[in-house]
Chain A
Amino acid sequence: MSTASPTVAPGVIETVSDKPQPSLDRPWNVVVHNDPINLMTFVTMVFQRVFGYPRQKAGRLMMEVHTRGRSIVWTGGHEQAEHYVRILQQYHLWTTMERVES
């Protein structure tokens, strides 16, 4: 446990802005787009491995990619969304991220 003293000088009131940080306040969607080459079995396997989704959910998301052209496969914080985009691109899925509409 840290025992460091506060760094704010005595008499100085430190304020934290409560103004929302525009790039961080809203969650991000991780979106997988359809492509004609990737095998359905491969895409399902990747969703299971990367997110730990059960086979049924992974298969449903894969079918959504296939039939609708894209699927939101995960939603959450910016840093974690970037992590998932990197992993899914590593598996060669066509993956992007977009901020959730307010």
Chain B
Amino acid sequence: MTELKLQRLPRGRLCLSGIDDGWQWVLARVPALLAGDQPPAVRERLLPNPSNNAEINRDWRELVVPELEALWKVNYELMAADLARLEADPDQSDRARITFPENHAAAWISAINQARLALGARWNVTGADMNRPLRKPGSDPREHDILLIHLLASALQLFIETSP
């Protein structure tokens, strides 16, 4: 896979470039992973009870959780809409690029991070898993998704460093 680049452009726009076929697949996985119902382990990680008080937790589930889920949905749908506008990069014939308003960066950060956490919760990924050298995933879906978590980390870091 090639190196992604994120550049700030004039008039408040960002350009994500260096997107080869591998990155296209990785980035497209983000909204695909987040759409639809999530397994209980993922929901428990993303939407933990806020306290040990049953009343607070009940109110939270009723009032706050739907609001958070709606916000996250807006974010990954915005990322999906940006990805749909992928275009050939005139400077690199085998790669693509996307330009979008820089105020979309927060949505990309949210969606990428949420996808990483969802994958981690789905496979119960530990600190030891994250710190050991990567293995060839082969046909092991857990190793495959640990690799995906790492790849998305590099994309996320790019947004953290570059976006306003």
Chain A residues with a Cβ under 8 A of chain B: 35-39, 41-42, 45, 82, 85-86, 89-92, 94-98
Residue pair B51, A36 in contact (C-beta under 8 Å): no
A-B contact count (CB 8 A): 66
Number of interface residues of B (CB under 8 A): 32
- For residue B160, CB closer than 8 A to chain A, the reply is yes
Known A37-B120, A38-B113, A95-B50: A89·B68 in contact at CB below 8 Å: yes
Contact A36 B50 (CB under 8 A): no
Q: Say whether, besides A89-B48, A98-B52, A36 and B160 are in contact (CB < 8 Å).
A: no
B117 & A86 in contact (Cβ 8 Å cutoff): no
Asked if B130 is an interface residue, CB under 8 A from chain A, the answer is yes
Q: Which residues of B contact A96 (CB under 8 A)?
A: 48-51
Seen from chain B, the residues whose Cβ lies within 8 Å of a Cβ on chain A are 45-52, 56, 64, 67-68, 71-72, 109-110, 113-114, 116-117, 120, 125-127, 129-130, 149, 153, 156-157, 160-161
17 extra interface residue pairs, beta carbon distance < 8 Å, beyond A35-B117, A36-B130: A36-B125, A38-B113, A38-B116, A38-B117, A39-B157, A39-B160, A41-B161, A42-B160, A82-B50, A86-B67, A89-B47, A89-B68, A90-B71, A96-B49, A97-B51, A98-B51, A98-B52
Q: Which of A37, A45, A89, A98 sits near B116, CB closer than 8 Å? A: A37
Residues in B whose Cβ lies below 8 Å from that of A45: 160
CA of A39 to CA of B149, assembled, Å = 11
Q: Which residues of A contact B51 (CB under 8 A)?
A: 96-98
- Which chain A residues border B114 with CB–CB below 8 Å? 92
Q: Which residues of A contact B125 (CB under 8 A)?
A: 36-37
Contact B113 A42 (CB under 8 A): yes
Closest B-chain residue to A23, C-beta based? B53
Report the separation of the CA atoms of residues A22 and B161 in the bound assembly, to the nearest whole angstrom. 44
CB < 8 Å: which of A36, A39, A86 contacts B68?
A: A86
